[in-house]
C-alpha cells in the first residue's frame, strides 16, 4: 500500500490524515475511561457494602432482635396479670 492510499484509508474530513500517534493516544484514553466507568463504581459498591456481603449486618440484626425480645419478656413479666372474676 502506498503512502497516498494509507492517507486516503485513514483520512478524516477533507482528506486530512490523522497521525497514528494521535489514534493510539485516543485509544489509550478511551480504554482508561471505559475501565474507570465500568469497574470503579462496581468495586466501590462492593467495598462500601462489604459488611452486608460478609454477613456482619445480618449478625447485628439478629443481636438486636434478641435484645428486643429479651426486653419485651422483661416488660411482660413486670405487668400485673389480669384475672377474670365471674360471679354467677
Domain that residue 61 falls in: 21-77
Q: For 80, list phi and psi in degrees, rounded to 5.
A: -65, 145
**Cα distance from N-terminal residue to C-terminal residue, the chain:** 116
The answer to whether residue 8 sits within a structural domain is no
- Position 55 scores a pLDDT of 87
The answer to whether residue 15 sits within a structural domain is no
Quote the number of domains for the chain. 1
Please state whether the predicted TM-score (pTM) of the whole model is above 0.85. no
Residue range 37-55: mean pLDDT, rounded: 81
The answer to whether residue 87 sits within a structural domain is no
The answer to whether residue 68 sits within a structural domain is yes
Q: How do residues 67-78 score in pLDDT, each as one tens digit?
A: 999 999 988 887
Say if residue 29's pLDDT is above 80: yes
The answer to whether residue 11 sits within a structural domain is no
* Burial group, residue 17, by CB count within 10 angstroms (0-12, 13-18, 19+): middle
Amino acid at each position: 500500500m502506498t503512502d497516498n492510499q494509507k492517507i486516503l484509508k485513514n483520512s478524516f474530513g477533507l482528506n486530512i490524515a490523522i497521525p497514528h500517534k494521535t489514534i493510539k493516544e485516543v485509544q489509550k484514553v478511551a480504554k482508561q475511561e471505559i475501565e474507570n466507568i465500568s469497574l470503579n463504581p462496581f468495586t466501590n459498591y462492593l467495598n462500601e457494602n462489604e459488611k452486608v456481603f460478609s454477613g456482619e449486618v445480618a449478625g447485628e440484626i439478629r443481636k438486636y432482635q434478641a435484645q428486643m425480645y429479651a426486653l419485651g419478656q422483661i416488660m411482660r413479666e413486670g405487668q400485673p396479670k389480669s384475672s377474670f372474676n365471674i360471679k354467677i
